[in-house]
Amino acid sequence: MIEYEDFTKVDIRTGRVVRAEDFVGAKKPAIQLWIDFGPEIGIKKSSAQITHYYKKEMLIGRQVLAVVNFPPKQIGPFMSEVLVLGVGDDAGAIVLIGPDQAVPNGRRVH
């Protein structure tokens, strides 16, 4: 078990996808995302293997949840700055997690 203080170390925030591009050349199919986390954090990039259920066009404007305090990770030529959260279905395809009502970008998950 972890303590509540351990959970609070993971900074999960709401953000809105403002740009999405196919990740050409990725080892596994992925989409590059630019996510607006509001004025405190700004726009951050992420690479997400979400191509089974999502096309880049359908992601623009969508709110997602992401961990914003992991160190950046180089994925091929792309620097991923945040980890977008999702849940795997029975086949392992990822379904994004996000609020079911609009909330301001940058709000922290409690």
At residue 47, the pLDDT reads 97
- Predicted confidence band of residue 25 (pLDDT cuts 50, 70, 90): confident
- Distance from C-alpha of 102 to C-alpha of 71, rounded to nearest angstrom: 27
Residue 79: which pLDDT band, with cuts at 50, 70 and 90?
Answer: very high
> Taking the domains of the chain in order of start, what are their residue ranges?
11-96
CATH architecture of the domain 11-96 equals Beta Barrel (2.40)
Mean predicted confidence (pLDDT) in 35-44: 98
φ, ψ of residue 34 in degrees (nearest 5): -115, 120
Structure tokens at 87: 């849940």
Q: pTM for this one? A: 0.95
pLDDT bin (cut points 50, 70, 90) of residue 85 is: very high
pLDDT at 41 over 90: yes
